[in-house]
Structure 1
Amino acid sequence: MSVTTTNLILGPATLYQGTFGATEPADTAVNSTPQASAWTDMGGTQDGVTLSVDQTYTALEVDQVVDRVGSRLTKRELTLETSLAESTLENLSVVLNGGTAATGAGYKSYEPLFASSATQPNYTALLFDGWGANSFRRRVILRRTLSTDAVAMAYTKDKQTLFKTKFSGHYVTSSIAPFHVVEATS
């Protein structure tokens, strides 16, 4: 087997947040920074940005054949995990799916959402830019996400405070995929 060394990828990604339904950059703009009015750079991350797509296939079986005769996709879990190195109140609001921010002379504050559990959650869109094959840029857009795991922020003597978080991707519509990947070719 031959190895194409230019297909090997190494390097960080830049993570952006937008509202659910934010205008997505055109595929032709894969080498450009997303429009600042629609996408907010979430700052530094630690230990990278990890996209996971866990697909569950259910086997089709018949009595007459001992082998699996087919499979059907019955579940897909899409997650993005990262540790936000910039522990700002703005990033805290994103990882806690919204809330109320206030600013005044010499201060800013944040309070999480605390309404009834029956209310609709505040979905967000995520976009990250990183490296792709041949040292070109790759962009991944997760169109409808929620932070669904515990959010931790530790204050310790010898470690940086981070917002460790996990976002889950969700169904959008029958005509819009939950995520999109584009890679530059030149």
Structure 2
Amino acid sequence: MGVNTDNLIQGPATLYKGAYGATEPADTAVNSTPATSAWTDLGGTQDGVKFGGDQTYSELEVDQITMRVGSRLTKQDFTIETSLAEATLENLALTLNGGTSASGTGWKSFEPNVTSSATQPNYFAIILDGYAPGQFRRRIIGRRMLNVDSVELPYTKDKQTLIPAKFAAHYVSASIVPIHIVDATA
């Protein structure tokens, strides 16, 4: 099989946040910006945006055969990971999975959620808009997400302040898959 250079991808992605259950853009709208009424652009990122899938398989074996005879999927994790370059209170609130925000003339504030561990977290949706082979667009929708990474706001003399984020997909239902990926085509 020869190399098809049209299948090579390079370029930035844009992240959007929506409420859990927000109306998703139609697959036919993969080349359009998501509706601003339901989706908020998270702004600039640093060092790219990464979609990841981690699958854990349990081995099946028998005494009579020395090789693995089969495998069964026992765990699956899908993540969207980046460093948010715009260190706003809104992005901080997102990476801390919610809290209480307030604002007034000339000020705004945020207090993280510190309720009981039995309280349901504030799930949200994430859209990753990037490139697909052929210079087309690819959209990855995480339907029920939470940040599962540690959050820090480093203030240093010679480095930009970034908010690390690792958004993990969570089970939605038997009929709704937590991740949806669509590519535009010719």
**Unaligned runs of at least 5 residues, structure 2:** none
CA deviations 1:26-83 (Å, max 9, x no partner) are: 0000000001111110000000111110111111112222221111111111111110
The alpha-carbon deviation at position 115 of structure 1 amounts to 1.4
Superposition map of 1:68-107 within 5 A: 68-107=68-107
The secondary structure found in structure 1 opposite 2:77 is strand
Contact 2:85–2:161, Cα closer than 8 Å, also in 1: yes
**What does residue 172 of structure 2 align with?**
172
Contact 2:149–2:164, Cα closer than 8 Å, also in 1: no
Aligned-residue RMSD, C-alpha: 0.9
Q: What is the rounded CA distance, in whole Å, between the counterparts of 1:161 and 1:64 in structure 2?
A: 58
The alpha-carbon deviation at position 162 of structure 1 amounts to 0.7
Superposition map of 1:153-168 within 5 A: 153-168=153-168
Tell me how many residue pairs correspond in the alignment: 186
Q: What is the rounded CA distance, in whole Å, between the counterparts of 1:183 and 1:80 in structure 2?
A: 17
Q: Which amino acid aligns with 2:26?
A: A
Q: What is the rounded CA distance, in whole Å, between the counterparts of 2:58 and 2:135 in structure 1?
A: 37
Contact 1:13–1:128, Cα closer than 8 Å, also in 2: yes
Contact 2:171–2:177, Cα closer than 8 Å, also in 1: yes
Instruction: Report the TM-score, using the length of structure 2 for normalisation.
Output: 0.97
Q: Which amino acid aligns with 1:69?
A: V
Q: What is the rounded CA distance, in whole Å, between the counterparts of 2:97 and 2:119 in structure 1?
A: 12
Q: What is the rounded CA distance, in whole Å, between the counterparts of 2:161 and 2:69 in structure 1?
A: 51
Contact 1:84–1:164, Cα closer than 8 Å, also in 2: yes
Instruction: Report the TM-score, using the length of structure 1 for normalisation.
Output: 0.97
**Unaligned runs of at least 5 residues, structure 1:** none
Contact 2:148–2:167, Cα closer than 8 Å, also in 1: yes
Q: Which amino acid aligns with 2:116?
A: S
The secondary structure found in structure 2 opposite 1:134 is helix
